[in-house]
Protein backbone atom coordinates (compact mmCIF):
# COMPACT_ATOMS: atom_id res chain seq x y z
CA UNK A 1 0.00 0.00 0.00
CA UNK A 2 1.38 3.38 -1.00
CA UNK A 3 2.09 5.67 1.92
CA UNK A 4 2.20 9.42 1.69
CA UNK A 5 4.63 11.54 3.69
CA UNK A 6 3.17 13.38 6.66
CA UNK A 7 2.65 17.09 6.22
CA UNK A 8 4.92 19.37 8.20
CA UNK A 9 3.46 21.96 10.54
CA UNK A 10 4.35 24.70 8.03
CA UNK A 11 2.57 22.89 5.20
CA UNK A 12 -0.46 22.24 7.38
CA UNK A 13 -0.68 25.98 8.04
CA UNK A 14 -0.45 26.67 4.30
CA UNK A 15 -3.24 24.18 3.55
CA UNK A 16 -5.40 25.72 6.27
CA UNK A 17 -4.83 29.22 4.85
CA UNK A 18 -5.73 28.06 1.33
CA UNK A 19 -8.95 26.44 2.57
CA UNK A 20 -9.78 29.53 4.62
CA UNK A 21 -9.23 31.73 1.58
CA UNK A 22 -11.43 29.49 -0.56
CA UNK A 23 -14.15 29.55 2.08
CA UNK A 24 -14.05 33.36 2.40
CA UNK A 25 -14.16 33.76 -1.39
CA UNK A 26 -17.22 31.49 -1.69
CA UNK A 27 -18.92 33.26 1.20
CA UNK A 28 -18.40 36.63 -0.48
CA UNK A 29 -19.50 35.49 -3.95
CA UNK A 30 -22.15 32.81 -3.28
CA UNK A 31 -23.34 33.74 0.19
CA UNK A 32 -22.45 30.28 1.53
CA UNK A 33 -19.51 27.92 1.88
CA UNK A 34 -20.11 24.73 -0.09
CA UNK A 35 -16.80 23.69 -1.64
CA UNK A 36 -16.54 20.79 0.83
CA UNK A 37 -19.94 19.44 -0.19
CA UNK A 38 -19.03 19.71 -3.86
CA UNK A 39 -15.82 17.77 -3.24
CA UNK A 40 -17.66 15.05 -1.32
CA UNK A 41 -20.33 14.84 -4.04
CA UNK A 42 -17.61 14.35 -6.67
CA UNK A 43 -15.95 11.63 -4.62
CA UNK A 44 -19.28 9.98 -3.88
CA UNK A 45 -19.93 9.79 -7.63
CA UNK A 46 -16.74 7.80 -8.13
CA UNK A 47 -17.89 4.66 -6.29
CA UNK A 48 -15.20 2.50 -7.86
CA UNK A 49 -12.42 4.44 -6.16
CA UNK A 50 -11.19 3.93 -2.63
CA UNK A 51 -12.16 7.46 -1.65
CA UNK A 52 -15.58 7.09 -3.26
CA UNK A 53 -16.25 3.91 -1.30
CA UNK A 54 -15.11 5.62 1.90
CA UNK A 55 -17.53 8.48 1.29
CA UNK A 56 -20.33 6.00 0.59
CA UNK A 57 -19.57 4.22 3.87
CA UNK A 58 -19.64 7.50 5.77
CA UNK A 59 -22.95 8.45 4.17
CA UNK A 60 -24.50 5.11 5.15
CA UNK A 61 -23.25 5.40 8.73
CA UNK A 62 -24.53 8.95 8.94
CA UNK A 63 -27.95 7.95 7.68
CA UNK A 64 -28.12 5.19 10.27
CA UNK A 65 -27.23 7.64 13.04
CA UNK A 66 -29.97 10.03 11.94
CA UNK A 67 -32.57 7.28 11.91
CA UNK A 68 -32.96 6.90 8.13
CA UNK A 69 -33.34 3.34 6.85
CA UNK A 70 -30.49 2.38 4.47
CA UNK A 71 -31.13 0.74 1.11
CA UNK A 72 -29.38 -2.50 2.05
CA UNK A 73 -29.13 -4.42 5.33
CA UNK A 74 -26.54 -6.83 6.64
CA UNK A 75 -29.30 -9.07 8.01
CA UNK A 76 -33.04 -9.37 7.36
CA UNK A 77 -35.65 -11.63 8.85
CA UNK A 78 -38.35 -11.92 11.48
CA UNK A 79 -38.14 -11.87 15.24
CA UNK A 80 -38.50 -15.24 16.97
CA UNK A 81 -37.59 -14.27 20.52
CA UNK A 82 -37.28 -11.11 22.60
CA UNK A 83 -34.92 -11.52 25.53
CA UNK A 84 -35.28 -8.01 26.95
CA UNK A 85 -35.63 -4.42 25.82
CA UNK A 86 -32.43 -4.35 23.79
CA UNK A 87 -31.85 -7.96 22.69
CA UNK A 88 -33.79 -10.18 20.30
CA UNK A 89 -33.30 -13.24 18.09
CA UNK A 90 -33.85 -12.92 14.35
CA UNK A 91 -34.49 -15.77 11.91
CA UNK A 92 -33.22 -15.10 8.38
CA UNK A 93 -34.40 -16.58 5.06
CA UNK A 94 -32.02 -19.55 5.39
CA UNK A 95 -33.52 -20.41 8.81
CA UNK A 96 -30.34 -19.28 10.58
CA UNK A 97 -30.98 -17.63 13.90
CA UNK A 98 -29.00 -14.56 14.93
CA UNK A 99 -28.94 -12.96 18.35
CA UNK A 100 -29.05 -9.18 17.98
CA UNK A 101 -27.91 -6.68 20.60
CA UNK A 102 -29.13 -3.16 19.87
CA UNK A 103 -26.27 -0.74 19.25
CA UNK A 104 -26.02 2.53 21.18
CA UNK A 105 -28.78 1.86 23.71
CA UNK A 106 -29.13 0.05 27.02
CA UNK A 107 -32.54 -1.05 28.29
CA UNK A 108 -33.43 -2.00 31.87
CA UNK A 109 -32.58 -5.57 32.83
CA UNK A 110 -35.44 -8.05 33.15
CA UNK A 111 -35.26 -8.02 36.96
CA UNK A 112 -34.91 -4.24 37.08
CA UNK A 113 -37.78 -1.74 37.46
CA UNK A 114 -39.32 -1.01 34.03
CA UNK A 115 -37.58 -4.10 32.60
CA UNK A 116 -40.81 -5.85 31.60
CA UNK A 117 -42.28 -2.62 30.24
CA UNK A 118 -39.21 -2.08 28.08
CA UNK A 119 -39.46 -5.60 26.68
CA UNK A 120 -43.15 -5.07 25.90
CA UNK A 121 -42.34 -1.81 24.13
CA UNK A 122 -39.80 -3.59 21.93
CA UNK A 123 -42.32 -6.33 21.14
CA UNK A 124 -44.87 -3.72 20.08
CA UNK A 125 -42.34 -2.18 17.67
CA UNK A 126 -41.09 -5.39 16.00
CA UNK A 127 -43.60 -8.23 16.38
CA UNK A 128 -45.00 -9.49 13.06
CA UNK A 129 -42.73 -7.19 11.03
CA UNK A 130 -39.83 -7.90 8.73
CA UNK A 131 -36.67 -6.52 10.28
CA UNK A 132 -33.48 -5.18 8.77
CA UNK A 133 -30.25 -4.89 10.72
CA UNK A 134 -27.18 -2.76 10.08
CA UNK A 135 -24.48 -4.75 11.89
CA UNK A 136 -21.80 -2.66 13.60
CA UNK A 137 -19.79 -5.44 15.21
CA UNK A 138 -19.94 -8.81 16.94
CA UNK A 139 -19.53 -8.76 20.72
CA UNK A 140 -17.74 -11.17 23.04
CA UNK A 141 -20.93 -13.22 23.45
CA UNK A 142 -21.25 -13.86 19.72
CA UNK A 143 -24.16 -11.45 19.33
CA UNK A 144 -24.49 -9.16 16.32
CA UNK A 145 -24.51 -5.59 17.58
CA UNK A 146 -26.40 -3.25 15.29
CA UNK A 147 -29.19 -0.85 14.44
CA UNK A 148 -32.55 -2.53 13.88
CA UNK A 149 -35.23 -1.25 11.51
CA UNK A 150 -38.90 -2.29 11.34
CA UNK A 151 -40.93 -0.96 8.40
CA UNK A 152 -38.23 1.66 7.82
CA UNK A 153 -38.28 2.87 11.43
CA UNK A 154 -35.11 2.96 13.52
CA UNK A 155 -36.15 0.82 16.50
CA UNK A 156 -33.07 1.72 18.57
CA UNK A 157 -33.99 5.37 18.32
CA UNK A 158 -37.70 4.73 18.92
CA UNK A 159 -37.02 2.93 22.20
CA UNK A 160 -35.02 5.88 23.51
CA UNK A 161 -37.61 8.37 22.22
CA UNK A 162 -40.37 6.51 24.07
CA UNK A 163 -38.37 6.42 27.30
CA UNK A 164 -37.77 2.66 27.37
CA UNK A 165 -33.97 2.69 27.05
CA UNK A 166 -30.94 4.82 27.80
CA UNK A 167 -28.55 6.25 25.26
CA UNK A 168 -25.48 4.04 25.91
CA UNK A 169 -23.04 6.89 25.65
CA UNK A 170 -20.02 4.94 26.89
CA UNK A 171 -20.07 2.85 23.70
CA UNK A 172 -21.85 5.29 21.36
CA UNK A 173 -20.73 8.77 22.28
CA UNK A 174 -21.03 9.91 18.65
CA UNK A 175 -24.71 8.93 18.34
CA UNK A 176 -26.14 12.42 18.69
CA UNK A 177 -29.64 11.42 17.55
CA UNK A 178 -29.84 9.03 20.52
CA UNK A 179 -28.47 11.72 22.82
CA UNK A 180 -31.14 14.18 21.69
CA UNK A 181 -33.87 11.54 21.98
CA UNK A 182 -32.93 10.74 25.57
CA UNK A 183 -32.78 14.42 26.50
CA UNK A 184 -36.28 14.98 25.09
CA UNK A 185 -37.71 11.84 26.76
CA UNK A 186 -36.25 12.94 30.10
CA UNK A 187 -37.77 16.38 29.72
CA UNK A 188 -41.18 14.91 28.88
CA UNK A 189 -40.84 12.31 31.68
CA UNK A 190 -41.74 9.47 29.32
CA UNK A 191 -41.51 5.82 30.24
CA UNK A 192 -38.81 5.07 32.78
CA UNK A 193 -38.17 8.82 33.21
CA UNK A 194 -41.53 9.12 34.99
CA UNK A 195 -39.72 7.70 38.02
CA UNK A 196 -37.84 9.97 40.39
CA UNK A 197 -34.37 8.53 39.89
CA UNK A 198 -34.13 5.53 37.51
CA UNK A 199 -30.98 3.46 37.82
CA UNK A 200 -29.02 3.02 34.58
CA UNK A 201 -28.66 -0.66 33.62
CA UNK A 202 -24.84 -0.53 33.73
CA UNK A 203 -25.04 0.60 37.39
CA UNK A 204 -27.67 -2.06 38.11
CA UNK A 205 -25.46 -4.80 36.66
CA UNK A 206 -22.47 -3.59 38.68
CA UNK A 207 -24.54 -3.62 41.87
CA UNK A 208 -25.68 -7.15 41.09
CA UNK A 209 -22.09 -8.31 40.54
CA UNK A 210 -20.98 -6.79 43.85
CA UNK A 211 -23.91 -8.44 45.63
CA UNK A 212 -23.10 -11.83 44.08
CA UNK A 213 -19.43 -11.52 45.05
CA UNK A 214 -20.24 -11.19 48.74
Q: Is the dihedral of CA 33, 36, 37, 42 positive or negative?
A: positive
Dist. CA 205–CA 119, nearest whole Å: 17
* Catalytic, out of 65, 109, 119, 175: 109
211 belongs to the catalytic site: no
Q: Are 131 and 150 in contact (CB under 8 A)?
A: yes
Torsion of Cα atoms, 163 then 166 then 172 then 175, to 10°:
20
* Catalytic, out of 101, 161, 175, 182: 101
Under DSSP, is residue 195 helix (H, G, I), strand (E, B) or coil? coil
* Catalytic, out of 143, 153, 186, 190: 143
143 belongs to the catalytic site: yes
Q: Other C-beta atoms within 10 Å of 162: how many?
A: 18
**Active-site residue list:** 101, 109, 143
Amino acid sequence: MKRFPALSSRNLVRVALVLLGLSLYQLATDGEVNWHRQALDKLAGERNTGLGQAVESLETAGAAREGQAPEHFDLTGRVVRIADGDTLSLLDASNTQHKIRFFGIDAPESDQPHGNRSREALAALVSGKRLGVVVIEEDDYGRKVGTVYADGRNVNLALVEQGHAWWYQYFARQEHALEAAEREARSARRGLWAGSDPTPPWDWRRQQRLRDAR
